[in-house]
Structure 1
Amino acid sequence: MTARDFNQDASAAKREAAREPLIITDRGTPSFVLLTYTDYRQLKGELDNIVDLLRQDDDGDFDADFPPMNFEAKEIDL
């Protein structure tokens, strides 16, 4: 995307960058790269915290297997 196109339609640039990193050119020369914050963090090598790992984006449901819980009452002799 040219710098001029970027200036005229930043929303289109953001939509494109959501799919893949977007190179912005200035007079035909690559000058900038627009990418999502998640992609940026991956490039920096930042580790996700537990909140990031458990967050559900727009990908939908996920499968998780949890062990069965045992709720049987037990008698205790005090």
Structure 2
Amino acid sequence: MKVMTSREFNQDVSLAKRAARLAPVWITDRGTPTHVLLSIEAFQRLSGARETIVDLLAMRDDDTAPLDLSADRAAWTGPR
């Protein structure tokens, strides 16, 4: 288990994320633990959560691609 101060966490989030792959990272504020950073795999193990098809579809990388509906436009407007 790694412990980071809030300041350390804010200065190097990437380090915290890398450490969380191995073990939970405790984040402290003025010496008091306030948050815990976990990998998604660790969280799913703890919560018993399972991925559904909806989760998998929501995680697609190409969600920001523009949607081209020009080919379907005729179906919506009908004959002219």
TM-score, structure 1 as length reference: 0.58
CA RMSD of aligned residues (A): 1.3
State, as a whole percentage, how many aligned pairs show the same letter: 51
Which one has a bigger Cα radius of gyration?
1
Unpaired stretches in structure 2, ≥5 consecutive residues? 53-80
Structure 1 residue ranges (4+ consecutive) displaced by more than 3 angstroms after TM superposition = none
Counterparts of residues 24-39 of structure 1 (less than 5 Å): 24-39=27-42
Look up the match of 1:12.
15
| In structure 1, C-alpha distance between the alignment counterparts of 2:30 and 2:13, rounded to whole Å | 18
Secondary structure at the counterpart of residue 26 of structure 2:
strand
Aligned residues: 49
In the alignment, the residues of structure 2 paired with residue 6 and residue 47 of structure 1 have an alpha-carbon distance, to the nearest angstrom, of 29
Of Structure 1 and Structure 2, the greater strand share is in 2
Q: Which has the higher helix share?
A: 2
- What's the CA shift for 1:47? 3.9
1:18-57 matches, cutoff 5 A: 18-47=21-50
TM-score scaled by structure 2?
0.57
